[in-house]
């Protein structure tokens, strides 16, 4: 480890922890860069800035949203990423704030493992051209951005028509994202290293529209109906863009994965139980 990037949420406790961590790292000969501006990007047409190619790893200080911003920043660089949680325990930021320095010591000594998580590639095709292209760690969401109206989302799998979901929206999630918005909409919990894609309708008008688990090699095409004005595409809950019935949203497994740093003591099921408030008995 020679150079580490810190992505920091703009809150006093996160900034204070990141400053203390950066001083601790610099005393041990590590070059540190701190990035905050990437979290303010909200336009899908504006690319994230490229991280330095010589980063040994990236550490996020904040919540799961900050971690997602860091994941978008590193994109396909395969730079390992670690999440330090500055609030309640998160699924992505699973290292509690009080463990910062012991975890940093493990990272510098190489006492950690890498866990690969699949990403989704989402694009919007408009008039035959790709106008939006982004990768996501959690989910792609298509929904109505105005009024309480049902959206009509025509969905195909590998160019074969599946159904037109009549619902408040549609979530296409990774296993990592199964414990995010998809879970709130009634989707299944998937072990995060699995290679699957989850389709979860949001408040479907037809009760037979249930969550669907697909293999990771399929290509999903979706577009909203002619009368679905004000529909939005949102990626990882961070960036979004209005879409129309002329747009085709294409979702498939991304060609690269994200590399998460997992240190000693990490147990996914403990995080799951703590986050969901499951009893120990």
CA distance 203 to 171: 11
Which position has the token pair 């799951």? 272
d(CA 39, CA 134): 15
Query: What is the rounded distance in angstroms from the CA atom of residue 246 to the CA atom of residue 154?
Result: 12
Query: Which residues are paired to 269 by β-bridges?
Result: none
Catalytic-role residue among 64, 94, 228, 236: 64
- Residue 236 designated active-site: no
Provide CB contacts within 8 A for 12, sequence distance 6+: none
β-partners of residue 213 are 198
Q: Give CA separation, 113 vs 55, 73, 107, 195, in Å.
A: 17, 21, 9, 19
Using an 8 Å Cβ cutoff, are 258 and 60 in contact?
no
> DSSP H helical segments within 30-186, as ranges?
64-74, 100-109, 181-184
Asked if 62 contacts 11 with a C-beta cutoff of 8 angstroms, the reply is yes
> Cβ distance 151 to 225 under 8 Å?
yes
From the list 65, 58, 113, 51, the residue with the least C-alpha distance to 93 is 65
Helix (DSSP H) and strand (DSSP E) numbers for the chain: 5, 17
| Number of neighbours of residue 212 by Cβ within 10 angstroms | 17
Phi, psi (deg, nearest 5) at residue 117: -120, 135
Active site residues: 64
């Amino acid at each position: 480890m020679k150079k580490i990037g810190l992505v920091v949420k703009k809150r006093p406790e996160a900034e204070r922890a990141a400053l203390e961590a950066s001083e601790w790292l610099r005393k041990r000969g590590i070059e540190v860069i701190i990035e905050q501006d990437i979290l303010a990007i909200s336009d899908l047409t504006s690319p994230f800035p490229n991280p330095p190619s010589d980063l040994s790893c990236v550490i996020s200080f904040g919540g799961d949203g900050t971690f997602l911003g860091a994941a978008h920043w590193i994109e396909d660089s395969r730079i390992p990423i670690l999440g330090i949680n500055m609030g309640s325990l998160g699924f992505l930021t699973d290292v509690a704030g009080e463990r910062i320095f012991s975890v940093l010591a493990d990272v510098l000594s190489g006492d950690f493992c890498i866990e690969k998580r699949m990403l989704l590639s989402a694009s919007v095709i408009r008039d035959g051209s790709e106008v939006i292209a982004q990768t996501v760690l959690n989910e792609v969401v298509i929904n109505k951005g105005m009024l309480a109206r049902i959206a009509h989302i025509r969905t195909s799998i590998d160019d074969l028509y599946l159904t037109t979901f009549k619902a408040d929206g549609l979530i296409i999630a990774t296993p990592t994202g199964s414990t995010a918005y998809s879970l709130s909409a009634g989707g299944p919990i998937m072990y995060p290293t699995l290679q699957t894609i989850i389709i979860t309708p949001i408040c479907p008008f037809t009760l037979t529209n249930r969550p669907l688990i697909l293999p990771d090699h399929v290509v999903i095409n979706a577009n909203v109906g002619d009368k679905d004005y004000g529909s939005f595409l949102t990626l990882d809950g961070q960036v979004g863009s209005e879409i129309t019935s002329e747009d085709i949203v294409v979702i498939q497994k991304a060609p690269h994965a994200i590399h998460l740093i997992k240190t000693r003591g990490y147990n996914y099921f403990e995080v799951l139980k703590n986050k969901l408030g499951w009893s120990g008995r």
